[in-house]
């Protein structure tokens, strides 16, 4: 079977945005907002983890091509009992970047969980309120490269 041959596809400017949400206790979200998490700022660490993961997507998902990424950008919004992560990925490539955006968003959320898990565990060491979900591609676009490339 093998990897899909993309030899005939044109290099175009591709962009994808993926997002997801981690549900947390309101007390944990308050501590994140107050920057009082023992391991440091979960949003900053999650941003770095997501950028690293997006760049390594081809190593994680067997049929993904290695794509040189132009940018990976993370955004976060905090509610009373959740943190939403949004991951934008851009590349000049022959194939899309939605898998990179999904991996980036997923890793950001997983990193946040790791950094706040000590607050989320109940007396039995379980996570009754903590969950990650609603991971999805929000937007996917492709456009011809401007004359001279995307960065003339």
Does any domain span residue 116?
yes
28-50 burial by CB neighbour count: b if 16+ within 10 A, else e?
bbebbeeeebeeeebbebbbebb
Does any domain span residue 43?
yes
Does any domain span residue 7?
no
Confirm whether 114 is a catalytic residue: yes
Does any domain span residue 134?
yes
Does any domain span residue 6?
no
pLDDT band per the 50, 70, 90 thresholds, residue 146: confident
Number of domains composing the chain: 1
Catalytic residue selected from 41, 73, 114, 122 = 114
- Kindly tell me if the per-residue pLDDT of 23 is higher than 90: yes
Instruction: Give the residue numbers spanning the domain of 100.
Output: 19-143
Does any domain span residue 11?
no
* Whole-structure pTM value: 0.92
């Amino acid at each position: 079977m093998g990897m899909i041959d993309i030899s005939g596809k044109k290099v175009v400017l591709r962009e994808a945005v993926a997002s997801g949400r981690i549900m947390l206790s309101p007390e944990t979200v308050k501590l994140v907002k107050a920057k009082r998490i023992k391991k440091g700022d979960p949003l900053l660490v999650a941003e770095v983890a997501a950028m690293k993961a997006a760049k390594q997507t081809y190593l994680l998902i067997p049929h993904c091509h290695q794509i040189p990424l132009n940018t990976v950008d993370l955004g976060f919004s905090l509610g009373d009992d959740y943190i939403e992560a949004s991951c934008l990925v851009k590349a000049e490539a022959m194939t899309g970047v939605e898998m990179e955006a999904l991996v980036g968003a997923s890793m950001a959320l997983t990193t946040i969980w790791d950094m706040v898990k000590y607050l989320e565990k109940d007396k039995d060491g379980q996570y009754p309120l903590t969950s990650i979900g609603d991971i999805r591609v929000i937007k996917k676009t492709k456009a011809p490269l401007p004359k001279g490339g995307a960065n003339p």
